[in-house]
Amino acid sequence: MHDANAAIRFAKQWGDAPSLERLKNSSKSSDVQKIDAENSLKLMALRFQQSPTQSTLKLWATDMVDAGYQDWMIAEVSKSAPFKFERHPTLNQLMEQLTHYKPKVTIPRDELSDLTDRTFSHLKAKFIKQASIEIFDSMVDFYVKHGCPAIGIFNKHYHEMCMLGDWARSYFGDGKKIIEMAHKSNEAQKTNDYEHFTRVLRQYAKENKL
């Protein structure tokens, strides 16, 4: 059961977003993501009697990150693989599993992925500073239940990205405004309205030098 009480308190207390000190972006570089992805694959390999060499796993991690998958996606797939495969999965099998962790949208992903990666940590820190981590978690749950466009995607990190994006697109409004924006995002997905998703994030990244 979703804890809506904190989300309701959030909606009541929320006013215009105050001016905040700029927060440093903590997003990982591609090289760091490759190292973390490699570590996830090595931990997964320990669960199987036979597995590829460590040098092969390192190459796989590089291929996955270069293909646009983030380290957290690879970590999720690595954790679930021992429950889905009797033998160590091939690279192609892992790649197939990874597709479930990417948004099911048909709009171009290049600029949107870049803007999301650049703004996510900054937006999350901004939200938590203005409210709290408890309210943030409750708002994500509330968002998923009442309007999240991420239908069929069961990944908390992706839900957070969606909620924060719609929070920014609602010009940092209250809970009601975020849900209203989520419904607009649903419609924008259906019509492939690329600018709906990128316009505000592009401006936010520029203003905060991200």
pLDDT of residue 107: 46
pLDDT at 105 over 60: no
Name, in order, each residue with C-beta under 8 angstroms of 61's C-beta and a sequence gap of 6 or more. 34, 35, 37, 38, 40, 41, 74
If one compares 178 and 22, the residue with the highest pLDDT of the two is: 178
- The pTM (predicted TM-score) of the whole model is 0.49
The full length of the chain comes to 210
For residues 95 and 64, is the Cβ–Cβ distance under 8 A? yes
If we measure between CA atoms, which residue out of 30, 194, 41 comes closest to residue 108?
Answer: 194
pLDDT of residue 127: 94
pLDDT of residue 117: 86
Segment 125-131 mean pLDDT: 92
Question: Any idea what DSSP says for residue 79?
Answer: H
Segment 116-133 mean pLDDT: 91
Segment 116-131 mean pLDDT: 91
pLDDT of residue 154: 59
Percentage of the chain modeled with pLDDT above 70: 79
Q: Report the distance separating Cα 28 and Cα 71, nearest Å.
A: 9
Q: How high does pLDDT run on average in the chain?
A: 80
Q: Which residue has the tokens 């239940």?
A: 145
pLDDT of residue 26: 35
If we measure between CA atoms, which residue out of 189, 25, 194, 175 comes closest to residue 105?
Answer: 189
pLDDT at 7 over 60: no
Segment 156-164 mean pLDDT: 86
The C-alpha R_g of the chain, in whole angstroms, comes to 19
pLDDT-wise least confident of 43-47, 102-106, 178-182: 102-106
Predicted confidence (pLDDT) per residue in 23-81, tens digit: 332 356 778 889 999 999 999 999 999 999 999 999 999 988 888 888 888 999 999 99
**Which pLDDT band, with edges at 50, 70 and 90, does 148 fall under?**
low
If we measure between CA atoms, which residue out of 119, 35, 44, 30 comes closest to residue 79?
Answer: 44
If we measure between CA atoms, which residue out of 158, 126, 153 comes closest to residue 140?
Answer: 158
Give the Å distances, CA to CA, from 110 to 81, 130, 172. 28, 30, 25
pLDDT-wise least confident of 4-8, 146-150, 197-201: 4-8
What's the half-sphere exposure (Cβ side, CA atoms, 13 Å) at 141?
15
pLDDT of residue 102: 65
Predicted confidence (pLDDT) per residue in 15-33, tens digit: 333 333 223 323 567 788 8
Query: What angle is formed at CA 203 by the lines to CA 176 and CA 166, rounded to 5 degrees?
Result: 20
Domain positions in the chain are 30-101, 106-207
